[in-house]
Amino acid sequence: MPSVSRETTPPQVGDRWPAPVPPRVLTIANQKGGVGKTTSAVNLAAALSQHGLRALVIDLDPQGNASTALAVPHAAGSPSMYDVVVKGKPLGDVVVAAPDLPGLCCAPATIDLAGAEIELVPVVAREMRLRKALTSYLRTAEVDYVIIDCPPSLGLLTVNALVAAQEVLIPVQCEYYALEGLSQLVHTIDLVQTELNPELEISTLLLTMYDARTKLADAVAEDVRAHFGRRVLDTIIPRSVRISEAPGFGQTILSYDPGSRGARAYVQAAAELAAAAVSPAPVQLSPGPQRDTPEPRFHRPQEVQLHG
């Protein structure tokens, strides 16, 4: 498992970044909608692929926003994550190259996936569907980073994503109520970790949509750092109209406006992420006496129960 440390100097923009071995699988989760999950998934993946790393974005949101941003077709009925998660099709059968983005692939989501939460209910080991597909895909596929974009809920699709990953990246919007709901997310991650995927850790938090004009944004950023310490990337993604325009053109911010603040921020955030894969000095992240950052106020649940 990659160790996570913020002590190393991030690789410089333009460098070829180090490839993690084995590949890193990150789930981008937050049950709140509109916090920057999809934007972060596609732009981090694009930044990694621009620096010599092979990235796969798995779109697990029936809305298919990540597929749209990567210009990957995802009309209802076309091969998609629905076939993988519900029908048991091999992941490799639905992975396609993202146009004009060398090194970047996408497993698209169609609206069919909306039925998965219900269709999976009677299925045996329904929480393991994605993990199984991804494990067998990674046996032969040449990928350095798998980034899974989740829907805005904590249902079976998000649980599948958490079971399939080693790391969770939580985007946090620099706005009021940002921390509200995070305890529920952390609780779910704890349940998955205890019951289904002991490897799982919250490795990374990314502050998004930061507006320097508001004092509130600073207060939220400070609060998140107080709770999650070194797991919060130093880089903060600014609120930027250019970032929100890019998906409408089927582009990432890196190709839409490479010189913009938003593009530079995502590249810098990705560089920090990539640096964490090669840290020589792992930091103790699980709660314990060695911890050098304040403890999150979230507590491990006494009782664990997942989906009945």
Ligand X SMILES: Nc1ncnc2c1ncn2[C@@H]1O[C@H](COP(=O)(O)OP(=O)(O)O)[C@@H](O)[C@H]1O
Binding positions for ligand X, rule: CB under 6 A: 33-39, 65, 152, 208-209, 237, 239-240, 243-244, 247, 262
Question: How near is the Cβ of 241 to ligand X at its closest, in Å?
Answer: 6
d(CA 219, CA 7): 24
Do 106 and 252 form a contact (C-beta atoms < 8 A)? no
Smallest separation, CB 165 to Mg ion (Å): 16
Q: How far is the CB of 53 from ligand X (least distance, A)?
A: 21
Kindly state the number of chain residues that form the binding site for Mg ion, as judged by CB under 5 A: 3
Residue closer to ligand X (CB basis): 37 or 129: 37
10 touches which of ligand X, Mg ion, none (CB within 5 to 8 A by kind)? none
Give DSSP secondary structure letters for 16-33. Answer: PPPPPSS-EEEEE--SST
Q: Which of residues 57-86 bind Mg ion (CB under 5 A)?
A: 65
By CB under 5 A, tell whether 38 contacts Mg ion.
yes
Rank residues 229 and 262 by Cβ distance to ligand X and give the closer one.
262
Q: Is 125 exposed, middle or buried (0-12, 13-18, 19+ CB in 10 A)?
A: exposed
Residue 237 CB, shortest distance to ligand X, in Å, is 5
Do 113 and 153 touch, CB atoms closer than 8 A? no
| φ, ψ (nearest 5 deg) of residue 103 | 85, 0
Q: Which residues contact 293 (CB under 8 A, 6 or more apart)?
A: 228, 229, 230
Binds Mg ion by CB under 5 A, chosen from 24, 32, 37, 239 = 37
Question: Which partner in ligand X, Mg ion, none is near 193 (CB below 5 to 8 A by kind)?
Answer: none
251 binds, among Mg ion, ligand X, none (CB under 5 to 8 A by kind): none
SS3 185: helix
Q: Is 14 exposed, middle or buried (0-12, 13-18, 19+ CB in 10 A)?
A: exposed
CA–CA dist 74, 72 (Å, integer): 6
Q: Residue 8's closest CA among 278, 211, 230, 209?
A: 278
Partner from ligand X, Mg ion, none binding residue 243, C-beta < 5-8 Å depending on class: ligand X
208 binds, among ligand X, Mg ion, none (CB under 5 to 8 A by kind): ligand X
User: Rounded CA gap, 292 and 259, in Å?
Assistant: 36
Whole-angstrom Cα distance, residue 44 to residue 262?
A: 11
Q: How far is the CB of 43 from Mg ion (least distance, A)?
A: 12
Residue 220 binding target from Mg ion, ligand X, none, CB below 5 to 8 Å by type? none
Closest CB to ligand X among residues 246, 285: 246
List residues binding Mg ion (CB under 5 A): 37-38, 65
